Structure 1
Amino acid sequence: MSNLDVAEASVSERTQHQSWRGLQASFPVMLGFIPFALVLGSQAAQKGFTALEVPLMTGLNFGGGSEFAAVELWTSPPHVLLIVAITFLVNSRHLLMGAALAPLIRHLPKRKAFLVLFFMCDESWAMGLADARKSGTSLSLGYYFGVSLGLYLTWVAFTTVGALVGPVLGDVTRYGFDMAFPAVFLVMLAGMWKGVSAALPWLVSLLVAAATYLVVPGAWYVPAGALSGVVAAFFWARSS
């Protein structure tokens, strides 16, 4: 075996190890995805989506918040422009999330960089970013895709299950399934905690989003919260 073959085998083994590490790390979040995915699939079925259309929506979009918004707004015939606009607003936070990842994936070829962005959701973004900062290197593709593929397959599979069993179970939110995602986000925030000072932009974002939600109809609270957090972080960093 040549030195090149040995090097390639070593890289492949290291990538597999990182992928397995990412899959293991994502397992608790995957469990948190299941009840929320069942709720979405059930609600979509109640709006007339078939068990084929639900995985098409969740697989091509992969953004839970925007999918819930789209299902909530769905009518027959659907108001396509309104749904597209709200989906864009809800997913607008991905612009900021992608900007945060950009320095870590700048060296990648476009094909791999686009895959990173396609599989990016709140959880994979937070876990990938935290792992890169912990290791002090660029984004570990093996770890990131281990996390992302586990979350992606769980989300698509269980939204489909929700679409199949939802009509039988009825309103699944009465079982408390809709509390799963807030619990997952609280766990992620706890893992990213760096003290009160670093959390102030998060507090600003929370307060602005909550106030916007109460006084402005629609999904404007999402970009309002995201942008206010970024602005607060910018000014806080300058004053520090």
Structure 2
Amino acid sequence: MKNDLSARAGFKDTIPTLSGYIGVGLAFGIVAKAAGLNVLMITLMSAITYSGAAQFVIVSMLLAGSSFSAIVLSVFLLSARMLLMGMTVAPFMKKESLFRNVIIGSLLTDETFALSMNKLNYTNRQLSFDWLNTSNLVAYLTWIISSGIGGALGSLIPNPNQFGLDFAFIAMFIGLLYLQVAADRTIDRRLQVIMILITLVLVYVGMIFVPSNLLLILVTLIGCGLGVLLKHAFF
């Protein structure tokens, strides 16, 4: 990754993350096909909802016969974390128009957010619309195409997890986390390691007591608060 913030750089920087979109997109398409959705419905859901976790929840709730309002509420709670991510990216887009900010926010994902935070380490804390919009669009199109292909292959691969496709996102985030820690010189390395360990403990303990759709938001808020306190107290 370099300090180039052009659209071409956005495309190149996003390529290493696409394995996650492809793996989980295929898995979603296969699962949705097994649940009775056709390829067109699967593709449209990926284009409109555009949230891997939420789409899996929608399919499972449809199979369970859940009400429309329950599905909408569950998807909202599961995707509420994007509000935090959008507010984090917003200061770097303040020179752009409202319309461009809406475009960026609409297509922002966990992966492109993590990628943009890592990019800041190489660009003197700067982002551009061309770079981030290209990254978002590449990820968006890859997700739609992958889930559509997964739906088409649904009858041929009844259990996508046997190929390890469900681990693709996890592996991608581990890689992004490593790159972030390795490249970030603005925060003491010891503090970064401590916060990673604290976050792991919070998630592990939180899974016992907190619903999964709220856990990420709570861990983010608590982790950020603890991180600020530790930084000012010891680093």
User: Rg larger in 1 or in 2?
Assistant: 1
Distance in 2 between residues matched to 1:39 and 1:116, nearest whole Å: 26
> What residue number does 1:11 align with?
none
Q: Which amino acid aligns with 1:91?
A: S
Query: Pick from 6, 15, 40: which aligns with 1:27?
Result: 15
Q: Match for residue 126 of structure 1?
A: 114
Which deviates the most, 207-216 or 44-53?
207-216
What's the offset of the Cα at 1:158? Answer: 0.6
Write the mapping of 1:1-240 to structure 2, written as runs, cut at 5 A. 18-75=6-63, 77-193=65-181, 194=184, 195-239=189-233, 240=235
**1:201 deviation in Å?**
3.1
Deviation at 1:79, TM superposition (A): 2.5
Which range is displaced more, 44-53 or 114-123?
44-53
Could you say what secondary structure the match of 2:115 adopts? helix
Normalising by the residue count of structure 2, what TM-score does the alignment of the two structures yield? 0.87
> In the alignment, residue 127 of structure 2 is paired with which amino acid?
L
Q: CA separation in 2, counterparts of 1:90 and 1:200?
A: 27
* Count of residues in correspondence between the two structures: 225
Q: CA RMSD in A?
A: 2.1
Change beyond 3 A, Cα 1:21–1:172? same
Shift of 1:62: 1.9
The letter for the 2-side match of 1:157 is I
8 A contact 1:132–1:140 mirrored in 2? no
SS at 1:135's partner residue?
A: coil
Tell me, yes or no, if the aligned pair for 1:35 and 1:178 is still in contact at 8 Å.
yes
Matches of 2:120 and 2:148, distance apart in 1: 33
2:45 alignment partner AA: M
CA shift for structure 1 position 178: 0.8
Which of 63-72 and 24-33 deviates more?
A: 63-72
Q: Which amino acid aligns with 1:162?
A: G
Comparing 166-175 with 115-124, which one deviates more in the overlay?
A: 166-175
SS in 2 for 1:139: coil
What is the SS of the residue equivalent to 1:220? helix
- Unmatched 5+ stretches in structure 2: none
Residue type of the alignment partner of 2:225:
V
The 2-side partners of 1:49 and 1:238 are apart by 52
For 1:17 and 1:134, the matched residues in 2 are separated by 10
Distance 1:100 1:17 in 2: 18
Write out per-residue CA displacement over residues 158-200 of structure 1, whole angstroms, 9 at most, x where no aligned residue: 1011111112211111111111110000000001104231243
Q: TM-score, normalised by structure 1?
A: 0.85
* Cα deviation, residue 137, structure 1: 4.9
Q: 1:119 to 1:217 in 2, by over 3 A?
A: closer
CA–CA separation in structure 1 for the residues paired with 2:200 and 2:71: 25
Measure the CA separation in 1 of the matches of 2:128 and 2:8.
12
